[in-house]
Amino acid sequence: MHDMILLSKISRALSECCSLNRILKISKVVIAVNSYSHVNTSNLYDYLRNYNEDITDELTEVKIQIENLPDQMAIIKNIEGYQYEK
């Protein structure tokens, strides 16, 4: 259950970051979580493809880094993608 909440928070934060930075599609994203989190590359990719299909595609690369973070916290370390034209 807690991992679904964290996946949802990551999903919303990515949507906000993409909107603010005018990113159309994410090509690569790096997320940091703690060592006890069950969030992994596979379940985050699947979650993003289901709930963020507007900003991800089948080529979106998802990487997870393990860091010393509090429970239920994630940090978006890097987002690479294609931006809207000005």
User: pTM for the whole thing?
Assistant: 0.92
What's the mean pLDDT in 55-79? 97
pLDDT for residue 85: 75
32-52, pLDDT tens digit by residue? 999 999 999 999 999 999 999
6 exposed, middle or buried (CB, 10 Å; 0-12, 13-18, 19+)?
buried
pLDDT value of residue 86: 63
Class of domain 2-83: alpha beta
The dihedral sign for the CA sequence 60, 10, 32, 76: positive
- pLDDT at residue number 2: 66
Tens digit of each residue's pLDDT (9 = 90 or more) over 14-24: 999 999 999 99
